[in-house]
Structure 1
C-alpha cells in the first residue's frame, strides 16, 4: 500500500508541475535538426558553418549508433521569457558519455558547457542526475549540442524548462527514487534477517539480487553519479552495465536456489551455475573491450536470462516445486518491464518513460513479492523439518515422547534426586480394557482410545513432566520432584477418575479403564547402582503392574518405601 501510494504521488506531481507551464517550455526534440559528424573531430565553428541542407529534421524520436562519430543537434529555442532562468535537460543519463552545449556570445566567442559519463558529475557545468545546461533567454543564435556515446546507442530527448519546473521535476524524481531505494534497503535488511533466521541459501541469493537491483537503478537513473560516486567518472560510465550483469547473474542464482534445480537435474544445474558465473566474469571482459559486439552480447545475455528464469520456474513447477510457480508470478513485473530498457539500449526503441522507469516500477512490485514468497516457502520447509525432528523423538500414534527420551530424562531425574535428597515420582499406567474396545468397536476405535488416553494423561501433569508410551497399551509418567508419596497417590486416583470420563465416538459403557503402579524413588536403602538405574526401576514397576493385573478388583498400587521386593 505504501509503495502504491508513492507511485501515485510520483504520477500526480508532474501533472501539478505542468499546470504552471510557461510558453516555450516542454519537449523540443522534434523541433530540432541534427547532423552526424562521422569523423567525430569537427569543431563548433565548422559545424556552425555547415550548409543548412546537410541538417536533417528530427521528425520522430530516433536512436543513433554513433561509435566513433558525434551527433550534433541544432536547437532554435525561440522567444523565451527573459524574466526567468531557462535550462536544457537531456534525459537518459546512463547512455550519454559526452554532452557539450555551445552558445555564441555577443562578442562572437563560444561558451561551452559540459556533462556526460566521461566527466565526473562533480565537474559538470550543472551537476544533476542527467545532463543539464543553462540557456540565456536573450540569445538569438541557435544552440549547438554535441553528443558522443559508445558502444551503446543514444536517443536524445531534450526538454526546455524554467528553473521552477526543473526544480519540481528534480523533487519528484528524488522523492520517487529515494522512496524506492529506501524501501529496497528495508527489504534487503529483512532478507538478511531471514538469512539469519532460517539459514536458507535462497535468502542469500535474494539479498545479492536486491542489492544488485538497487545499484542498477541508482546508476541507471543517474542518482548514483550525483550522490554516491560524483568524482568517479569511469565507474559512473561502467556502473549500469556492471550492475545489470551482476543483477542478471544473481537473479539466475536466486532462481536456482529457490526452485531447487539441483534436485531435478545435475546437468541443468551445472549449466545454470555456469550461466550465473558468466554474468560476473563478463563484466570484467566488457570493461576491457567496450566494443559494439561486447555491448550486443551484454544485451543478449540479459534477454536470454529472462527466458531462462521463466523456463526454470515453469520446469521445476511442473516437476512438483509448488513455490516455483509463485516465483514465476513474482518475477513477472520485472520480466514485463525489462524488454523496454534492453531494446532501448540496443537502439530499437527511443528513450521514453517506459524505457527509463519500466524496470524500476516493476522491481518495486517484484522485490517485496519475492520476499513474501520466500518467507512462506522457508516457513513451510521449517515446519516440515520441525515435524520430521519431532517424529524422531515422538510416538507416531499418540505424539508422546518415545521410550529412549523417557529413560534419559528418568536417569537425570534420579541423579538429581539422589544428589539433592528429594524424590521424584514414576507411574506406570495401563489401558486395561483396550482389548474389549477393539473387540467391540474395531481397531480404529482402539487406536482412538489410545490417543485419548495419551491426551488425558498429559492433561493431569505439568509441562515439565514426561508422559511416554512404552508398549502398546502401557504408559510411563515421570513426575519431576520433589514429590511426596501422599501427593502421588492422589494423582493416581485422579488418573483413574479421568479415564472414566466419556470418550467421544465410543459407547458410554466403554470408558478408559486405567490400572496403575506408582513409586517415589530413590529410597534411602537403595544402593547407588539401583538408585541410578532407570532400567531396573522400570522393570520393577512393570513386574508390579503385571502382578496387579491378576487382581481385577484392584486398579491402583503404590509401592511402599522401602521398595517392594518382587
Structure 2
C-alpha cells in the first residue's frame, strides 16, 4: 500500500516537472513578428472569447509612456502576438495589451483579467466622439473605486458602436509576472460565471469558518494545542485566500486598500508558517530529535521574518525569498507527515498525512506560478481551494480521534489513581468521600442509608490450596459480584486486603439492606468457571444503618469493618450491627 502511494506521488511530481519545463521552454521561445494585420474581434453568441492569438502586446521599459504617445508612434512600436501560457515579467516594464473588437448592437460585453493580484490594471479606448475613456482596477485601488466593482479586474467595452473599437490594457506591478487569461464576456455570461463563483466561495469559506469555530471550541474546552493550532492554520489560510482571490476586497473591505494589502501579504508565508506549526504540534518532532524540533522553529521564524520584510519593501526579491522559504516549509511538512504516516505509535497521524498530501501536491502549482515556472491555469488559481476542501474534514476527524484517545488515556490514569488496580473498584478514600456526601444528604432528608461491610472469609484458604493467582481471581470475581448487586447510585469499593464495602443510598430500610446482603452471600456461593472446580467464595457481611450520631464517613466505614472482626458466631454470615451493640 505504501509503495503504491509513493509511486503515485512520484508520478504526479514527474508530471509537474515536465509541465514546468514545457512552460519555461515556451516562455523562452522568441516572439513572432509584429502582428499588425490582426483582424477585429467580431463578438457574437454567449461563449467567452479569449484574447490569445487575437491580441498583441508590448512591454514599456520606461514605465512612463502615455497612451497618446503610443497612439502617435504605434507604427514604430514592435507589437507581438500574445500566445497561450506566455508570461511577461512586469519588472522589465509596464505591459500593454492591444486588441480591436466590435460589440453587437444592444449588447454589453466586458473584459475580465483572470487574476486579481496585480497592483494597477487600466483599460483605455476612445468613444465615437474621440474622447478618451479610462477604466481602472487592481490592488492599489479600493474595489469601491473600480470601474466595474467585483472580485477580478473587469472593464466594460464600448456599447452600441457599430465600428471596430481599439482597446489598450495597461498592467503594472512590482512583484508579479503576468500570465493571467484575459477574456471577453457577454453580460449575462459574466453574471452567471460570478454567481457560480459566489456559490462555491460561499460553501468553501462557510466550511472553513465552521471547522475553525469547532476546532477553537475543542481547543479551549479540552486545552488541546493541536486543535488550537489547527484553528489558527484555518483562519490564516482562509484570510490569505480572501485576499488572494479578491473575495475580501469585494465584500469586506471595499473602501480600505490597506486591508487588502495586509491580507494579501499573508499569502503564502503566514499560512504556511501556521501549517508548519500545526504539523509540528501533531507529529512532535522533538521525539525524534531536539535539533530537528529547533530547526522547525527556526524555519517558522524565518518565514514570518521574510513576510514582514516583504510587507516593508514590497519587491520581487522579497517575494522570491518568501516563496523559497515557503518551498522549504512545504518540504518540512511533507517530511513530518510522512514520518507520522510510517510511525505506528499513533494511528491518527496517518490520517493527518492523508489530509495534507493533496494540499501539498496542489500547493506546488501556485508555488511554481510564483517562481514563473508555470503559467496561470485553473490549478494555480483554484488548486489550493480544492486541497483545503479535502483537508478540512480529514484533519478535523483525525484530531477528534487523537483527542478521544488522549482523553481515554487521561481517564484511565485518573481512574488508576482513585481505583483499585486489580478489581477496578474505587479505593477506600474514594468511598469515604462519597459516603460523607451521602450522609449529609440523608441527614438533610431525614432518611436512612446502609453500608455493607463484606469480607472474603476463605481467601487465605484459597491462596494456600490453589495459589496466589487463584486468590487474585477470587478478588476480581468478588468485585464483579458486588457490581451486580448495586443499582442506580449505589457504590461498591475495595477497602482492605480482602474487605469490600457497599454503599446503599437513601432511602433504605433494614429489611431492604438485609435482602441486599443475602444477594451478596448467595452470589459468592455460585460456581464460576474462572475459579477451580467446586471452589466458591464465602462472604461475611455486616449491615450498618446510617447516619449514626457523631459518625462521619470514615468512622462509619470503620464501624462496618470492625463489625466483621467482632462477629460472635462465624457460622452466621450476615450480621446487622445494631444486634452487636
TM above 0.5: yes
Aligned to 2:99: 75
Deviations 1:18-45 (A, max 9, x none): xx98178421223211111000111112
The alpha carbon displacement at 1:312 in A equals: 2.2
Alpha-carbon separation, structure 1, partners of 2:494 and 2:512: 23
Residue 534 of structure 1 pairs with residue 554 of structure 2: yes
Aligned to 1:16: none
The alpha carbon displacement at 1:389 in A equals: 0.5
Unpaired runs of 5+ in structure 1?
1-19
The one of 572, 576, 580 equivalent to 1:554 is 572
The alpha carbon displacement at 1:117 in A equals: 1.2
The one of 39, 47, 60 equivalent to 1:37 is 60
Alpha-carbon separation, structure 1, partners of 2:267 and 2:577: 76
Distance change (3 Å), C-alpha of 1:419 and 1:354: closer
Aligned to 1:13: none
Alpha-carbon separation, structure 2, partners of 1:412 and 1:115: 72
CA contact (8 A) 2:56 2:97 kept: yes
Alpha-carbon separation, structure 2, partners of 1:486 and 1:156: 89
Distance change (3 Å), C-alpha of 1:81 and 1:510: same
SS at match of 1:31: coil
The one of 101, 106, 111 equivalent to 1:88 is 111
Aligned to 1:519: 544
The one of 240, 246, 249 equivalent to 1:222 is 246
Q: How does 1:151-550 map to 2 (within 5 A)?
A: 151-316=175-340, 320-413=345-438, 423-435=448-460, 437=462, 443-506=468-531, 509-521=534-546, 523=548, 528=550, 531-532=551-552, 534-535=554-555, 537-548=556-567
- What is the aligned residue count? 535
The alpha carbon displacement at 1:100 in A equals: 1.3
Alpha-carbon separation, structure 2, partners of 1:121 and 1:387: 57
The alpha carbon displacement at 1:544 in A equals: 3.8
The alpha carbon displacement at 1:443 in A equals: 4.6
SS at match of 1:147: strand
SS at match of 1:357: helix
The alpha carbon displacement at 1:278 in A equals: 3.7
Deviations 1:188-222 (A, max 9, x none): 22112212332201111111111112112221111
Alpha-carbon separation, structure 2, partners of 1:251 and 1:426: 57
Alpha-carbon separation, structure 2, partners of 1:186 and 1:102: 43
Residue 56 of structure 1 pairs with residue 75 of structure 2: no
CA contact (8 A) 1:152 1:345 kept: yes
CA contact (8 A) 2:269 2:322 kept: yes
Alpha-carbon separation, structure 2, partners of 1:326 and 1:21: 51
SS at match of 2:474: helix
Q: Structure 1 residues 66-75 or 269-278, which shifts more?
A: 269-278
SS at match of 1:92: coil
The alpha carbon displacement at 1:538 in A equals: 4.5
Distance change (3 Å), C-alpha of 1:162 and 1:260: same
Q: Structure 1 residues 169-178 or 132-141, which shifts more?
A: 132-141
The alpha carbon displacement at 1:236 in A equals: 2.3
Distance change (3 Å), C-alpha of 1:143 and 1:405: same
Alpha-carbon separation, structure 1, partners of 2:407 and 2:448: 39
Alpha-carbon separation, structure 2, partners of 1:412 and 1:156: 73
CA contact (8 A) 2:111 2:155 kept: yes
Deviations 1:317-347 (A, max 9, x none): 5564443332122111211111111111222
The alpha carbon displacement at 1:88 in A equals: 1.0
Residue 101 of structure 1 pairs with residue 119 of structure 2: no
Alpha-carbon separation, structure 2, partners of 1:352 and 1:207: 29
Distance change (3 Å), C-alpha of 1:312 and 1:144: same
Q: RMSD in angstroms over aligned alpha carbons? A: 2.7
Alpha-carbon separation, structure 1, partners of 2:261 and 2:281: 32
Aligned to 1:9: none
Alpha-carbon separation, structure 2, partners of 1:85 and 1:449: 90
Alpha-carbon separation, structure 1, partners of 2:552 and 2:204: 65
Alpha-carbon separation, structure 1, partners of 2:198 and 2:441: 67
Q: Structure 1 residues 286-295 or 20-29, which shifts more?
A: 20-29
Distance change (3 Å), C-alpha of 1:441 and 1:70: same
Distance change (3 Å), C-alpha of 1:330 and 1:167: same
Unpaired runs of 5+ in structure 2?
1-42
Aligned to 1:132: 154
Q: Structure 1 residues 247-256 or 470-479, which shifts more?
A: 470-479
